[in-house]
Homo-oligomer: A and B are copies of this chain.
Amino acid sequence: MEILKGACIIGQSGGPTSVINASAQGAIEAALKAGCITKVYGAAHGIRGVLDEVLYDMGAEDPAEIARMKNTPSSALGSCRYKLKDPDADDTDYKRILEVFKKYDVRYFFYNGGNDSMDTCNKISKFMLKNGYACRVMGIPKTIDNDLFGTDHCPGYGSAARYIATTSMEIYQDARVYDTGMITVLEIMGRHAGWLTAASAIATHFGAGPDLIYLPEVPFDLDKFYADVEKIYRKNGKCIVAVSEGIADKDGKLMVEKFAEGADVARDSFGHAQLGGIGITLANMLKAKFGCKTRGIEFSLMQRCAAHCASGNDIAESYAAGKAAVDFAVSGITDKMVGFKCDRSNGYKCEIELLDLALVANTEKKIPAEWINAEGNGLTDAYVDYALPLIQGDPQMPYENGLPRFARLKKINICK
């Protein structure tokens, strides 16, 4: 093993999750302990913090506050959606990153994010290699969307899935309480892959979830949808539907956009657009169609930030992923993303495996066709078997005054 001595930067990027800070904590704590890592910097708002030289001294933080990152949702260091250009077309940003790395003697770079972030991480890794700058670059996955290629699942997914299944179960109790007809439409995140919406099927599996589930993987047909809902509603007087925000027709056109088309009229008396999302839209359409009470419910940001309802397994695995990235880098590995390899044949075992950054960047993983039922409106038990271990375990949330006690970092900028 070749010892590489120098500072490290940890950055967070993309949409927040309940557990992205658990990964950051795993990486920060491991880096602070590593003898060859001289300084541990947190980049403010991901790669933007590197470009703008806003780097926090993580060694100056109270270790007790760093420990609380495990239960603090969203990205404690700040996030960004900045996309690096193709270095062959424009390498300005890369040159700037190299300049900053050199200035602060950065020899380790850990980037914590989803698809786009792994692309950023991959491009930086390749640029450093090409320019002969000794630097170990590791990706730490994170996305509630669960759509990263090569890994069994993504840190963040289990907690979002637990929130969605729990909330679906609670709404099931609520939405069936009156002796009158009622159709409820749950809108769940997921533009291209239905992993999040699928999680509502876990509630259904245990007898208290949506009757019908529509994913972006299956082309949405409005007539079929009406027929599906009518069948359940006529039988039970109630119907709960879960739809992915990304449901699209057979040509790939998003339903929410399709419904809004020609709706230049969809403005209030002040001339402002008053459009709801696909859940509210479908609820209103079902009301017009069946004349019963309907309600559209959007799980909105809660599904990605409800840390009080996070999965204990997800927290532990996210932490382990962050720690592993540092430990592997220190041992000489570079240009990889940390992934999970799981065995469900005899209980549930989850092991760390390393994947080539180039392989995972920009590849999307969708729900396998065989996990979707024949009608295209629900999930099979194979999905539940896959997802159930991921939502297990209490988050062990620390409380103060009856409310979650989140980490309070000082975030002292060492630059300039």
* Contact A388:B401 (CB < 8 A) given known A170-B306, A274-B275, A301-B295: yes
Mask, A267-286, CB within 8 Å of B = 1, is 11111111111001100110
* Contact A268:B260 (CB < 8 A) given known A170-B305, A173-B73, A308-B166: yes
Q: Is A81 an interface residue (CB 8 A)?
A: yes
Size bin of chain A's contact surface: 35 or more
The answer to whether A272 and B260 touch across the interface, beta carbons within 8 angstroms, is: no
The answer to whether A72 and B178 touch across the interface, beta carbons within 8 angstroms, is: no
The answer to whether A170 and B308 touch across the interface, beta carbons within 8 angstroms, is: yes
Q: Within the complex, what minimum Cβ distance (angstroms) separates A342 from chain B?
A: 16
Please indicate the chain B residues that have their CB under 8 angstroms from the CB of A370 in the complex: none
Q: Within the complex, what minimum Cβ distance (angstroms) separates A299 from chain B?
A: 8
The answer to whether A297 and B295 touch across the interface, beta carbons within 8 angstroms, is: no
Docked CA distance A48–B179 (Å): 9
Docked CA distance A391–B401 (Å): 8
Docked CA distance A259–B270 (Å): 7
Nearest residue (CB) in B for A49 is B179
Which of B169, B281, B302, B402 is in CB contact (< 8 Å) with A311?
B402
Q: Within the complex, what minimum Cβ distance (angstroms) separates A276 from chain B?
A: 4
* Selected A-B contacts with CB under 8 Å, 25 pairs: A16-B174, A16-B177, A74-B174, A74-B176, A75-B177, A79-B178, A80-B179, A162-B402, A166-B308, A170-B301, A170-B307, A170-B404, A175-B301, A261-B269, A272-B285, A273-B288, A274-B274, A274-B281, A275-B280, A297-B298, A297-B300, A311-B402, A388-B402, A391-B403, A394-B399
